[in-house]
Structure 1
Amino acid sequence: MARLSGRAALVTGGGQGVGRGIALALAAEGAAVVITGRTERTLKDTADEIAGRGGRVHTVLGDVGDRDDVDRMVAETVREFGRLDTLVNNAQSSVQRPLEQTTYADLELTYRSGPLAVFHAMQAALPHLRESRGSVVNLGSSAAVQGEVSFAAYAMAKEAIRGLTRVAAREWGAYGIRVNVVCPAALSPAAEEFFAAHPDKAERVLSAIPLGRMGDPETDIGRAVAALVSDDMTYLTGATLMLEGGRTLLG
């Protein structure tokens, strides 16, 4: 029996990158998975991959920056699979710009797609998570934890998500709901493109990771998330898991 059989998970931004890896890993453990995003093609490709492996999957086209879309994502999950056990808030727009050049529009974009989206999704999911005594996993960032240069807007958004996570862990523990953060360093397609275009930067990043490599979105990040939301880790809440090969140890 797979660890997540009979459960349903919602993964925002699940069509590509880390979100895709998490969705694949949850489905491999038996969860019925809803993946959301703004690009129909990537959602379909990932859904086809999950279905091809024998998993149950449903897609919802939408923008986490829109409260109505977020409410619809949660509602469709429950309508499609009858329950909601796991919410993974992965979607997030990123802006990389020096602090002195960061604009209000940059902050608005990262906050609307990040902490505000997470806040809205958690509120919408709460009645269903209370019923299932479920779990929330929010995505943070080692770049934010380290205070990496040129990530001002993104770091602010990601650290706001960590603060929200800790509050929810305290308030929702009484409902049996666990709320945690994972901070991944994964070789997503976007990271591969960036490293191919900037080999010197890639070398510096890899040299700062004790394990000597970037994580795989499915096997390193997704499987860890699957374990985190399973019954194997029912006593962990309010925590931040640094899934980045030890990078922050050397930061």
Structure 2
Amino acid sequence: MSLKQYLKRGCRFILNGVPVKNITANIMYLQPNGRLSGKKIIITGGGKGLGAAMAEKFVAEGASVLISGRNEKTLKETAERIGCKYFTLDVQDTSVLNKFISEADSILEGADCLVNNAGISLHEPTFFDVTPETFDAQIATNLRGGFFLTQSFTRLLLKEKRKGNVLFVSSETGETVDIRPYGFTKAAVNSMVQGLACLFVKDGIRVNAIAPGITASDMTGFKANGNLFLAGNATERIYLPEEVAETACFLLSDASGCVSGQVIVCNNGKTINPRWK
């Protein structure tokens, strides 16, 4: 069964002197059926945006979830709203990652899934606006933090002889060339996903990624309850966190048991480069 949710946004815009048509998004959500029952999932950057949408979806599907992030107030509000646990964490601080995994594992009574969602983009206007500080901050959050958190998590799984799942949140920018650190980090994440998948396949640990197109969030500046029009996207609209969460849910479920090392790009083929384009 499916739940149809119709999101209609009618606004008048001018693009190159031409009025833009009204945008209607027909979003399909799978009805919860317990597909994550028994899963115990850690989500970084889970207080809002895509992280919160994934947490809400996973809880609805029967999972026990712990969200983490730097803002305790936001985490608490989200956790109370959707019915999950929370724990503060700054993934840039690699000195606390081992302790965090140990604490999260204890709270969940045996974690088996990690979602590396925490990420930042500082949106430098040009190549020449990138500074050592903005470069290092994005590397530390988007790449280094996820790498060492995954190292701690998989070490725990191997020690406890548990099967498990690691999901990275990459980006469509990781599928293209870039001149800014955000894109570099996501391309590196895509490489890491494939390498780790090969490394851990015999241990029963799957590693995959979702790579969303421009999605409504504080980071992108687009609002889910505002106008959805975006000319540069293949569908001429921004994506919603809830629809991307559906793909994440599938990759963490046992229904995707034969899938590992894959980066699922959620942008309707925008970054594919056909010869006629």
> TM over 0.5, yes or no?
yes
**TM-score of the two chains, using structure 1 as the length reference:** 0.86
Note the C-alpha offset of 1:181: 1.2
Which of 30, 48, 71 is the matching residue for 2:62? 30
Determine if contact 1:183/1:242 at 8 Å carries over to the other structure.
yes
Look up the equivalent residue of 1:237 and give its one-letter code.
S
Note the C-alpha offset of 1:190: 4.0
1:249 maps to what in 2? 272
Look up the equivalent residue of 1:82 and give its one-letter code.
E
1:187 maps to what in 2? 216
Unpaired segments of 5 or more residues in structure 1? Answer: 52-56
- When Rg is computed on C-alpha atoms for both structures, the one with the higher figure is 2
Q: Which has the higher contact order (CA 8 A, sep 6+)?
A: 1
Note the C-alpha offset of 1:249: 3.4
Determine if contact 2:66/2:104 at 8 Å carries over to the other structure.
yes
Determine if contact 2:170/2:210 at 8 Å carries over to the other structure.
yes
Listed one character per residue, the Cα deviations across residues 6-62 of structure 1 (whole Å, up to 9, x for unaligned) are 1200000000111111111111111110100011121012101112xxxxx211112
2:250 is aligned with 1:222:
no
Determine the C-alpha separation between the residues in 2 that align with 1:146 and 1:92. 18
1:45/1:245 Cα in 2 relative to 1: closer, same or farther (>3 Å)? farther
1:132/1:215 Cα in 2 relative to 1: closer, same or farther (>3 Å)? farther
Note the C-alpha offset of 1:194: 7.9
3-state SS of the aligned residue for 2:220?
helix
Look up the equivalent residue of 1:232 and give its one-letter code.
A
Higher strand share: 2
Unpaired segments of 5 or more residues in structure 2? Answer: 1-32
Which of 164, 169, 172 is the matching residue for 1:134? 164
Determine if contact 1:144/1:156 at 8 Å carries over to the other structure.
yes
Q: Any residues of structure 2 matched to 1:207-218 within 5 Å, and which?
A: 207-218=231-242
Listed one character per residue, the Cα deviations across residues 181-202 of structure 1 (whole Å, up to 9, x for unaligned) are 11113212443458999x9xx8
Note the C-alpha offset of 1:147: 3.3
* Structure 1: 4+ residue segments shifted above 6 A: 194-197
Determine the C-alpha separation between the residues in 1 that align with 2:219 and 2:146. 22
2:190 is aligned with 1:177:
no
Determine the C-alpha separation between the residues in 2 that align with 1:7 and 1:196. 31
CA RMSD of aligned residues (A): 2.3
Q: How many residues align?
A: 238
2:176 maps to what in 1? 146
1:163/1:61 Cα in 2 relative to 1: closer, same or farther (>3 Å)? same
2:107 maps to what in 1? 80
Determine if contact 1:133/1:176 at 8 Å carries over to the other structure.
yes
